[in-house]
Amino acid sequence: MSAEIAYSHTPTDGFHTQTSTLQEATEKLIRTHIPPGGTSQVELQKRYHFEFLLRNLRQGFPERYTSQDASQPWLIYWTLHGFSLLGAGLDDLTKKRTIETLLALQHPEGGFAGGPGQAAHLLPTYAAVCAFAIVGRPGPGGGWESIDRQKMYKFFMSLKQPDGSFLVSHHGEVDVRGIYCLLVVATLLNLLTPELLAGVPDFLATCQTYEGGFGNASFPGWAFEADDPESEKPSNASFDPTAPRPPLGEAHGGYTFCATASWVILQSYIEHYYARPDVSSATSLPIRPEINTRGLLRWCTQMQGLPIELGGFRGRTNKLVDGCYSWWVGGCVVLVEALLGVGVLHDSPTEGQGGEEEGPKAWDDVDDSLFDRKALQEYILCAGQHPAGGLRDKPPKPADAYHTLYCAAGLSAAQHRVVPSDARRHAVISAWDPVQARAHDGTGVVSAASDAEREKLDVLRRETCAHVLSWTEEEGTALYVGGSANRVNATHPVFNLTVTHSDAMMAYFYGQSLPSRLPSRPKA
Amino acid sequence: MSELGLLADDPEWADVTPIRQYENVNPIAPIFYSEEYKDATDYFRAVVKAGETSPRVLKLTEKIIRMNPAHYTAWQHRYKTLIALQSDLEEELRLMDDIAKQFLKTYQVWHHRRLLLTAINSVDVAQLELEFLKDVLEVDTKNYHTWSYRQWILAHFNKEARLWAGERPYAEALLDADVRNNSAWHHRFFVVFSSGEKIALAPNNPSAWNYLRGVLEFTKTPFETLTSFVLPYTASKPPAPEDEVVDLDNPLPSQDAELPCVAALEFLADVYEKRGGDDTAKAVEVSVPMTRVFKQADLRVQFWKTLANEKDIIRKKYWEYRIREALQRAT
């Protein structure tokens, strides 16, 4: 293959428009960042990125970050998880200050706000809880015990809409980012209930567009709070969650990640609280909603740019590549693989058909991702690094806190294959203590349920936990462009935390002592 | 202008004790705010805590929003205040016009309009909104939130034919201006789909192909029905001008088209995949440009291999997955 073909431009067919002109200019610019001697020597400037993060954490952010004043937990989470990925631990004083800062963001009525005195909101709630996973611990002063989970659950329920979706805050908008944030927090903190999850899969399914990716929301089933004088009539009684609803907004990388990760978290709920179409007449359960998983895979892989764009990802069809989509789309591919049953460690039933023993195992020998991992690393290393430290959208843009994390997380997703492991799932289930898990319920509403309902909920929580806790790095599949000095730590594909952090937090909030994570069996 | 002064110096606010952001906490990762922003938000915290909804709150929240349009609590409290004061919400919309244009990429800017329009609940106002959004989309034709809001208006007033009437021509006009504008394609799908001739303009345009595939899937039309349209795009070069026969249903690629087109190869492979999947036993022979004569089941593999190894190498893993998956399903 000659270099000329390898770096061919996006065909314009001699027909130029604003989109193709911008695309051409970007290809020209990115092309200049391809090292003449190839990418085998390219370095991740860890030292500079570390200093960039440290400066933000210790000295703070310059005035232009006022636009992030309502996203303060995000600034903290992006920075702290950036350290985790770079392999830097935090000293006790930093942890203590972070815990105190985070607690100042907890809203008196539950949930976390973007800043002190601001309203609670699902997005900062995710960021704050993830930051707590990184800096917190059990016991006094560790922060975890100070999270008011019962109020948080009430806050979540106060945002619930008849179509299954959630407002992101009171008087706020509905979109799938909020759903993802809520589901992650509810999973980490032992707040899953059927009333919380009701209708969520149906809503998500309506957000998938004809392209295969997901848009931000769908219509309608969206209502004001009942106490609002201008409210639309709440339509709980008559709302049909299965009615077709158009997705609002085109397929987009950020929403696609959020919807896909949510769908992964909801697998056990969908399994136990919905009926398969073929058996639906025999039960009172609603029919399982479906998404087009193959179309989703196609869309995700279509978002990877050409070699001349260094294999970075774009967030929408015919838009430009941007380092942050390394995570939102590049990091989404492994989630879609899991939904398709591709690359699951050890034999596993495909597509819910059962047949654990006899199921097709043709994929087990396939230990590589369905996107170009090498190319994505090249984009991040060659175009995503700012020479002064921090990572970015693309040259010549400045680095910022957001892009630094999502480029680093995307690099991690391209270096490591973290996939669901059946062995790990079984180990978690065997060691699971249902009495403790129920005793550690954070909602305070479970005691009102009937015995049968509670038993079903026990199963839901155990299986959801066992699944998310089962994600494990597949031995022998790491790939480091530029050599292993460029290694960053692996990150959990659903949560975007290290498994050390998410395991510890879940063990605490479910009252479990999880089996230790032994290095998994090397591949034969 | 009092707008630029500090509230701390303003007698109108003398009755309020501002609340600092962090009391007794030395925050990690702090932001260095301007004096003005710090002043306004200190008073805002006091306003929220007291639950004050008065005309001066409208001034204060506007001031904060202009400095930081992502301050969702300021928007939330502003909305509550507007309702409490029974303010003229259409006037509010006009006031927000330039803020919307200035801060296009902020969620809250658009969500606020949605709350207002829902409360106003007037088709006339909705019509004006659609006009306003045309202006905005002229500045940024792919603005996500603007598009999402426009589609929400149409869905919210879905029985109002006059709102919908202009949408298809509007989507068409935007595609005339830039046939690669995926937001316009999505809008066209949202409004009403019809496929076709636009692929011929610029064949290597994933927006157009995704649209076409979406329409076929939505209407449950087999991909196969478009085989004769797609075939010329899988050739290695456009047809010679003298060979061209004008066929409005199957417009041919332009002379400048860079062929074969990756999306067309994929499309054809999907056609064969469907046939192979439906009836693997039959080995009907089909001749295709650029390939020899293959059994159908092999044809799709041939196309995917061409994509994986030659025409779309960055997606090699994906095309190889399609091959494995298809072969596995066949056995």
B50: nearest CA in chain A? Answer: A117
pLDDT band at B294, cuts 50/70/90?
A: very low
Tell me whether 0.90 is exceeded by the ipTM.
no
Catalytic residues of B: 105
% of chain A with per-residue pLDDT over 90: 81
B260 has a chain A CB within 8 A of its CB: no
pLDDT at B292 over 90: no
Task: For an interface test with B, give the residue of A20, A52, A66, A314 to mutate (most B CBs within 10 A).
Answer: A66
Q: By mean pLDDT, which of A118-127, A357-366, B183-192 is the weakest? A: A357-366
pLDDT band at B244, cuts 50/70/90?
A: low
Q: State the pLDDT at residue B289.
A: 41
Instruction: Give the one of A13, A18, A117 whose C-beta lies nearest to B178's C-beta.
Output: A18
| HEC string for chain B | CHHHCCHHHCHHHCCCCCCCCCCCCCCCCCECCCHHHHHHHHHHHHHHHHCCCCHHHHHHHHHHHHHCCCCHHHHHHHHHHHHHCCCCHHHHHHHHHHHHHHCCCCHHHHHHHHHHHHHHCCHHHHHHHHHHHHHHHHHCCCCHHHHHHHHHHHHHCCCCHHHHHCHHHHHHHHHHHCCCCHHHHHHHHHHCCCCCCHHHHCCCCHHHHHHHHHHHHHCCCCHHHHHHHHHHHHCCCCCCHHHCCCCCCCCCCCCCCCCCCHHHHHHHHHHHHHHHHHCCCCCCCECCCCCCCECHHHHHHHHHHHHHHHHCHHHHHHHHHHHHHHHHHHC
pLDDT at A236 over 90: no
A342: nearest CA in chain B? Answer: B321
Q: What is the pLDDT of residues A137-147, one digit of tens each?
A: 999 999 999 99
pLDDT at A282 over 90: no
B230: tokens are: 């797609």
Average pLDDT on A377-398 reads 98
Average pLDDT on A284-290 reads 91
Q: State the pLDDT at residue B248.
A: 65
Contact B26 A97 (CB under 8 A): yes
Q: State the pLDDT at residue A222.
A: 36
Q: What is the pLDDT of residues A172-193, one digit of tens each?
A: 999 999 999 999 999 999 999 9
Q: State the pLDDT at residue A277.
A: 81
- Which residues lie below 8 Å from residue B130, measured CB to CB, with a gap of 6+? B150, B153, B163, B166
CA-closest candidate to residue A105, choices A139, A63, A59, A74: A74
Side chain identity at A484, as an amino acid letter?
S
The residue whose two tokens read 């339509």 is A235
pLDDT band at B219, cuts 50/70/90?
A: confident
Q: What is the pLDDT of residues B135-149, one digit of tens each?
A: 999 999 999 999 999
Contact B256 A14 (CB under 8 A): yes
Q: State the pLDDT at residue B54.
A: 97
Average pLDDT on B222-239 reads 90
Q: State the pLDDT at residue A284.
A: 84
Task: For an interface test with B, give the residue of A59, A317, A337 to mutate (most B CBs within 10 A).
Answer: A317
Q: State the pLDDT at residue A231.
A: 39
- Residue-averaged pLDDT of chain A: 90
Question: Which of residues B199 and A369 earns the better pLDDT score?
Answer: A369
B173 has a chain A CB within 8 A of its CB: no
Average pLDDT on A404-430 reads 97
What's the angle, vertex CA A208, arms to CA A204 and CA A210, rounded to 5?
A: 165
Q: State the pLDDT at residue A266.
A: 98
Q: State the pLDDT at residue A345.
A: 64
pTM of the model: 0.90
Contact A219 B151 (CB under 8 A): yes
Q: State the pLDDT at residue A365.
A: 44
Distance (Å) from the C-alpha of residue B286 to the closest C-alpha of chain A? Answer: 26
- Dihedral class, residue A86 (left if φ above 0, else alpha if ψ from -120 to 50, else beta): alpha
φ, ψ at B23 (rounded to 5°): -105, 130
Q: What is the pLDDT of residues A336-381, one digit of tens each?
A: 999 999 876 654 444 444 333 333 443 444 568 999 999 999 999 9
Distance (Å, rounded) from C-alpha A159 to C-alpha A165? 8
Distance (Å) from the C-alpha of residue B196 to the closest C-alpha of chain A? Answer: 16
Q: Are A268 and A460 in contact (CB under 8 A)?
A: yes
pLDDT band at B164, cuts 50/70/90?
A: confident
A231: nearest CA in chain B? Answer: B119
